[in-house]
Every structure is written in C-alpha cells, then in structure tokens.
Amino acid sequence: MSDRARAKAHQSRPDGGGAAATAPPPSAQGGTRKPAASQLAAWAFLAPVTIYLLVFYAYPLYRSLDLSLRNYTVRSFVHGHAPFSGFKNYRIDLHDPTFTPALLHTLIFTVVSIAFQFVIGLALAVFFVQHFKLSATLRALFLVPWLLPLIVSASTWSWMLNSDSGVVNSALHSVGITSVNWLTAPKWALVSVIIANIWIGIPFNLVLMYSGLQAISPDIYEAAALDGANGWQRFWRVTFPLLRPVTAVTLLLGLVYTLKVFDIIWIMTRGGPAGASTTFATWSYQLSFGNLLPAFGPGAAVANMLIVMTLIFGFVYFRIQRKQLES
C-alpha cells in the first residue's frame, strides 16, 4: 500500500526532489506518459537492491526460520519432507542444560565487553584529540587489533594465555604470582575470551568516538572555558552530551557485533572447558556443525533466538534515536 502511495507521490511531482513536496504540480497535460516512464525507471533503480535484499537477506532469514520449525534429521535434510514440528526445536533448546549458562554467558560477555571497550575507547579518543606530537602514529598503532585477521589475534591470545607455556603465566610467575589456568579453568575461560574481545573492540570504539569528538566545535569549549568550566566539567557538560548521538550508534553497533562474536571464542576455548564459555553463537555452531551428527533444527533455533535478541536491542536503539530527534 505504501508503495502505491509513494508511486502516486511520484506522479504528482515528476521532477522528484523532496523540497518540492508542497509545490503545485506542473501542467496537468503531458503528464500521462512521463510519470509512467519515470515510474518504470524508479522500479528499475529499485530492482537491484530489492533483489539483493531478497536473495541475500530475506531468503536466508526465511530458511533459518524454516530450519528451526521443522524436525530435520540428516536424512530429511538431504531428501526433504522434514515434518513441521512447530516450536519443538525451541523447546529442546530451552530445556537443554546448556541454555541458561549460554544465555548468561552471552549477556555477561556482551555487557562487560562493551562497557570496557567503550570506556577505554572514549578515554583514548579524548586523549588523542589533543593532537600532541606522535599522536597520529600512536593512534595508528591502536588500530592494529582491528587490522589483524581474527584467526591471528585469537590464536595469539590463546598462545599467550596457555596454562603451561603461555607468556602471561610466565610473567605472573616472575613476579611471584602462581600461574592461572586461563583457558582451561571454568572460572577463567569466560574472563579470558572477554579480555581478548575487549582488546579487539577498542579500536572500533576509538575511531568512532574520535570522529565524534572532532565534530564538536572548539568554539563551545572556548565558551565553556571563558565561563570558568574546568577540564572535568568540560568533559561532562560539553563533550559527553554532544557525543550522545555517536555514543548511541557506537554502543548499538558494538552490541550487534558482540552478541554474535564467534571466532574468538571458538578458536580460544571451543566454548569450553565444560561449556564455561559457551555463548549463543558458539552453541548454535556446536549444534549445527560441531558434532559428527548435525542438529540443524535446534542449531537454527538458537541462531534465531540470537536474532530476536538483536532485534530487541535494535528497537530500543531506534526508540532512543527518535526521542532524540523529537527533543
């Protein structure tokens, strides 16, 4: 319906241009052929992106939903005719002893990672915006975690945190602290992957917050300084409020990226030991591909629950954004 309405709107102003919305339509005659052509052109322009969205976004989503609602065995995956089983796969997941720990780990992993990434990223951004000597070089160095392939950084972390031959433990040892089984003790595994993930996420936050800081006019700081605001007050009263839109974008994107983090955890701990660092992302993979006998249905169900979680946070974000627009 909205498409038709939009098409109508096009007809009424063949010149396009949103600014002309209130302008009276040009001469009525001769308008019968031209709008048709422009409508066709509009569809032609729309077609690539529509097809792209359908093929690469809508269809996989549909398939994922379909997988999660049917009772797929390896046989029915190959030959089709998997019986519709409603929400049985979701019930299987909910009653799985892995569910509660996985949910908890996903939330802890996401919240703790983002909190540290954001605070450290912001602090570094504020630091680098001062433009001291070498600041550009140092800033570039901070981007390294972002540039490295995840397989490289995750493998390096797991090597550094190795219980017996890791560099971290030997450093601890040299200052007289007993070594920690970073990746092989259930109470440390999640901490370890979070630390690695924070390290990987800092540059992303740094870059976004840095660009946000650059957008704040120096005049405002000057005015605040003239009014007698000290450094701390300038940060809390000027920088922070003006950064709010960038902050919202950064946090939301961070949330989406962090909820679905898979590579780091899988490479470092395989979700283990004994499920101690299993999140929804690794659990979904474990179910679908981590076993000799794939459980596609329950795996897809976990993936879809992850999508729903992201969706919820997405709506929260847009609500906040709209409120900001209105105020």
Partner 1 sequence: MKTPTMGRRVRGTTALSVAVMASLVACSSSKPAASGTTSSSPAAPSSQATSSAPTSSPATSNSSAAQSSAPAATGGTYTISDPYPQYTAGSSWVNLLNSCGASAGVKIKRTGYDTTALLSQTLLSAQQGNSPDVLIVDNPVVSTLADAGVLASNDQDNIDTSAVSPNLLAAGVLNGKTYGIPVGANTLALYYNKTILSAAGIDPTTITSWTALTAALAKVKAMGKGGITLSAIGTEEGSFQFLPWFWGSGANLTNLASTQGVAALQLWTTWLKDGYVPNAAIQDTQTTSWAEFATGKYAFAENGTWQLSNADKAGFPYGIIPIPSMAGGVAPAPTGGEFVTIPLQKDASRYPTTEKIVSCLTSADNAFNTDTTLGYIGVTAAVQQKQAANPQLPVWISAVGAAKGRTSDNLGTNYPKISQQLWTAMQNALTGSKSPSAAMSAAQSAAAAATGGK
Q: For the chain, give percent helix, strand, coil, nearest 5.
A: 75, 0, 25
Query: Does position 12 bind partner 1 by CB under 8 A?
Result: no
**Nearest Cα residue to 170 out of 184, 157, 180:** 180
Q: How far is the CB of 288 from partner 1 (least distance, A)?
A: 4
Q: How far is the CB of 108 from partner 1 (least distance, A)?
A: 18
**Nearest Cα residue to 283 out of 118, 103, 117:** 103
70 SS3 class:
strand
84 SS3 class:
strand
The Cα 311–Cα 304 span in angstroms is 10
Query: Does position 105 bind partner 1 by CB under 8 A?
Result: no
Q: How far is the CB of 269 from partner 1 (least distance, A)?
A: 7
Triad 225, 229, 231: Cα angle to 5°: 90
Q: How far is the CB of 291 from partner 1 (least distance, A)?
A: 6
For partner 1, which is the closer residue by CB, 2 or 29? 2
The Cα 59–Cα 97 span in angstroms is 31
Residues 182-241 that bind partner 1 (CB under 8 A): 183-186
Query: Does position 260 bind partner 1 by CB under 8 A?
Result: yes
**Nearest Cα residue to 110 out of 262, 286, 308:** 262
For partner 1, which is the closer residue by CB, 121 or 166? 166
Residues 111-150 that bind partner 1 (CB under 8 A): 150
- The structure tokens listed for 107 are 């939330």
Torsion region of 92: left, alpha or beta (phi above 0 gives left; psi -120 to 50 gives alpha): alpha
For partner 1, which is the closer residue by CB, 122 or 303? 303
Strand partners, 70: 84
Query: Does position 245 bind partner 1 by CB under 8 A?
Result: no
Q: Given candidates 103, 238, 256, 320, which one binds partner 1 under the rule CB under 8 A?
A: 256
Q: Stretches 101-109, 123-131, 206-214, 258-266: which one binds partner 1 (CB under 8 A)?
A: 258-266
Query: Does position 246 bind partner 1 by CB under 8 A?
Result: no
Residues 23-62 that bind partner 1 (CB under 8 A): 53, 56-61
Q: Given candidates 10, 234, 237, 270, which one binds partner 1 under the rule CB under 8 A?
A: 270
**Nearest Cα residue to 107 out of 261, 237, 230:** 261
Query: Does position 271 bind partner 1 by CB under 8 A?
Result: yes
Query: Does position 86 bind partner 1 by CB under 8 A?
Result: no
Query: Does position 306 bind partner 1 by CB under 8 A?
Result: yes
The Cα 237–Cα 217 span in angstroms is 14
For partner 1, which is the closer residue by CB, 152 or 215? 152
Q: How far is the CB of 24 from partner 1 (least distance, A)?
A: 17
For partner 1, which is the closer residue by CB, 183 or 207? 183
